[in-house]
Structure 1
Amino acid sequence: MSLTQQMTPYGRPPRRRGLGVLLAAAVVLLVAAAVGITLAITGDGKSRSHGPTPAPPPTRFGIPSPQPARSATADPSAPLLLPRPARTAANGVPLGFPDSTEGAVSAIVHWTPIIMPGDENHQLDVLRTIGTRQYIKNEIPALREDYQKNPVAADTWVVGTPVAYQLISGLDADRITVAMLITLQTGNAAGTTKTEVWANDYRLLWQEGDWHLDLVEDPPKSVTLPPSIAPGVYRENGWKDFQIG
């Protein structure tokens, strides 16, 4: 069962700020991880199997490694070749993506790991760098409120790694909407982690010579969250591969 399904008994929740929902979900997972540690320490005479524990990420805010290289052909099933950013902001945020579908998807792939909840000041600094003026005006105060309601302990971390994408609405009038399939991994200072499948919908606008984030929310009902990130499984559910060039 997906995180989204776990968080509501009625299936998909109402569409709303994806990062706010993500923060709440991350806190739930972190609490669950803490309970798991307590049970492991105290014991209750019963054997539990939680499956393999993923290795801790090398960096809390790292950019994901490119997917395995594949030859670029005219085959529509071939991965989308994504351009690398042309520049980096003073705070390390990748910028300078082409005005194309590939450029927009690349921006989302590079931004997703560094807009994950956890370090409030870092997350909001990144969002101010990549967001449209309207996004900053509307969402930064709302996310600050979410952090007050869902505080994250200092020794915990959240990592989101892009896996595949779906084009929700193609590039039109300098606007594009892309759904990104993500593995959401949470952990703490002890290194215990939990991994779940997640998806967010990103709307980008082309402004001032670059892509800017305008909205993050749950994907539409037409998007199916696969039960795993096995390539064959997510492709059957309409997700497509990408490759960083």
Structure 2
Amino acid sequence: MNGRSDSPREGRKTEGPTEPIVFVVEDDVSMRRSLTNLFQQVGLDVVTFGSAREMLQSKLPDTVSCLVLDIRLPGLSGLDFQTELAKSNIRIPIIFITGHGDIPMSVRAMKGGAVDFLTKPFRDQELLDAVVAATERDRKRREAEKTVANLRSLFETLSPREQAVLKLVATGLMNKQVAAELGLAEITVKIYRGHVMKKMRARSLADLIRMAETLGISANRSEQT
């Protein structure tokens, strides 16, 4: 991990961390140290930065994490940093902290997908609860993306004809209807369908349809030949 840290774990490797990491962007040194101590007391890994730019220029580990982000920062503000992360498709859950919060600011932060918006002074437990919620959100997102990636890999093993059969089956068509759509014999569709079930590792038709929904697969019948 490149980037300043007030934590003795600053030198941990970027490969393969198993525990959630809390990133902190806060320009106040004493506040950074206070947050580092708080998170370490409950066994969390912490990496801190003094500015948004510093974090943007750092190589971040690909693991479950969240970001505790001060609103008012030198240079790029916390809210603008939230926008930059979204543009870069970095979907780390954010918990905003500020000593000068107002309603428009909090509304913008929450509309941007922030997990929480805490005004200083806040209770330690408030922040810890927010971190738990944020890391759990990130964990679920990562699991969902992994599921989609695995299904996509299986889908790509299907032949073009098998993909066409899957798309039509996913719309609820029976074998006879699929055969009519594709200009095939019904027995041929049954064979293709069996191949699809096996390659996609589907345990049932309902399971196969759920997989298609997860992948966002739909059939444009006018394109099926």
TM-score range, shorter chain: under 0.3
Give the greater-gyration-radius structure (CA): 2
Q: TM-score, normalised by structure 1?
A: 0.21
- Normalising by structure 2, what TM-score? 0.22
- Return the structure number with greater strand share: 1
Higher helix share: 2
